[in-house]
Amino acid sequence: MPPSNDLAARGAGIELTDLTKRYGDFVAVDDVSLSIKAGEFITLLGPSGSGKTTTLNIIAGFLQPTSGQLTVDGSMIAATPPHQRDMGMVFQHYALFPHMTVAENIAFPLKQRKIPQSRRAELVQAALATVHLGEYGHRYPRELSGGQQQRVAVARAIVYSPRVLLMDEPLGALDKKLRDWLQLEIKRIHGELGTTFVYVTHDQDEALVLSDRIAVFNKGRIEQVGAPDELYERPATLFVARFLGESTILRGEITPDGIGVCARLLNAPDALPGGPGALVVRPERLAVRPADHLPDVGWNALPATVIGEIYLGSSRKLELKLPDGSSALVREQAGNLSDARRGDAVTMTWRVTDSVLLLDEPDVEAVLT
């Protein structure tokens, strides 16, 4: 759908090449390369301290990288100061000016850019309408709720039609219900504007809802970049499998003769000669059948015991214990529940193509069977 908003801008493409940021001996961002496409919504996702904010601040120009390159639409911008980068920024804490009205706050970046008064009023109104706060221009920030203040912060960041909008945990201070609603608002605004959005969060659900693509950060490096479904269905590392959604991880020894459980070989062909490996299966791809069930062709099966049941309304989670002592999580949809109960001996089964084989990671304690 073409952008339909008065503030629409042609999004810029951003290229990070071998970016590194050191603080003394500590490497906060470690050789990060990432191509952000013009107009896309990309999320930098990772745990606390993984280097997301540092990367965003390098893009914004608040920090200089120790080494590496940053280009916007093909031009190097290392020497361009933040206010000349044509980027808007929204932080977790709204950073509105308390002594200015909402309209004055939003007009502030237009004044800095010497936009004439009459045009300023039109743009402020367009920005307020975009965040659905058309009637609130005369209020002061203290007269607004947290969610409304954050929408004003978004309006102030988009009012001059920047080609890139950088957002650092913008919903982090809000309660869950408001956050869920504002996620949809941010997604709608992205669709209306055509601006490139770079969004930082540690919340995997938020990343899945919002993003065209997600870059998963771990210890200053990018582990994997891809569309939400790609990361969820085909995680490239155990870290990504665990960080994004729930997974059952079956550890073992990879045997070249093909005996034992099988997996779709996506990411780890080098693992085939042998050595520790892990199969990742999402809980909703696992099923529980009676203990004497024989798997069909193309299916794997393992004996298991049900050790826990959690009723969740629309689904039920079963925790199973496997023969090697490890546990597995199975999610059954309501309307499609098995008869299995706590204490039952069962067969856990799944399609070969629903599991991904990964190399075990050295910092993960391996439980080999």
Where on the chain is the footprint of ligand ATP (CB under 6 A)?
23, 26, 28, 46, 48-54, 202
Residue closer to ligand ATP, measured from CB, 52 or 251: 52
In terms of Cα–Cα distance, which of 245, 200, 239 is closest to 223? 239
Least Å from the CB of residue 170 to ligand ATP? 13
- Minimum separation from the CB atom of position 169 to ligand ATP (A): 7
Closer CB to ligand ATP, 36 or 200, in the complex = 200
**28 or 131: CB nearest ligand ATP:** 28
Which residue lies nearer to ligand ATP by CB, 45 or 238? 45
Closest to ligand ATP by CB, 50 vs 161, is 50
Q: Which of 43/347 has CB closer to ligand ATP?
A: 43
What backbone phi and psi angles, to 5 degrees, belong to 333? -80, 145
| Minimum separation from the CB atom of position 143 to ligand ATP (A) | 30
Instruction: Using the structure block, give the residue that is written with the tokens 């300023």.
Output: 120
Residue positions counted in the chain: 369
Identify whether the C-beta of residue 55 lies closer than 8 Å to the C-beta of residue 15: no
Helix, strand, coil shares of the chain, percent, nearest 5, are 25, 30, 40
Query: What is the rounded distance in angstroms from the CA atom of residue 354 to the CA atom of residue 228?
Result: 17
Q: Which contacts qualify for 283-286: CB closer than 8 Å, 24 or more apart?
A: 283/246, 283/247, 283/248, 283/317, 283/329, 283/330, 283/331, 284/315, 284/331, 284/333, 285/350, 285/351, 285/354, 285/355, 286/248, 286/328, 286/329, 286/330, 286/331, 286/348, 286/349, 286/350
Least CB distance to ligand ATP at residue 41 (A): 18
Q: Is 123 helix (H, G, I), strand (E, B) or coil?
A: helix
Distance of closest approach, residue 195 Cβ to ligand ATP, in angstroms: 22
Task: For ligand ATP, give the closer residue by CB, 46 or 245.
Answer: 46
User: Residue 21 or residue 331: which is nearer to ligand ATP going by CB?
Assistant: 21
Contact 232, 221 (CB under 8 A): no
* Beta-ladder partners of 29: 21
d(C-alpha 267, C-alpha 234), whole Å:
8
- Nearest approach in angstroms of CB 51 to ligand ATP is 4
Using CA atoms, how far apart are residues 143 and 115, in angstroms rounded to an integer? 28
* Rounded Cα distance, 80 and 241, in Å: 38
Least distance in angstroms from the C-beta of 54 to ligand ATP: 3
**Closer CB to ligand ATP, 53 or 149, in the complex:** 53
Q: Amino acid letter at 289?
A: R
Give me the residue label for tokens 């502030």.
108
- Cβ 243 to ligand ATP, closest distance in Å? 12
**Cα–Cα distance for residue pair 182/148, rounded to 1 Å:** 10
Structure tokens at 234: 């085909």
CB of 216 to ligand ATP, least distance (A): 11
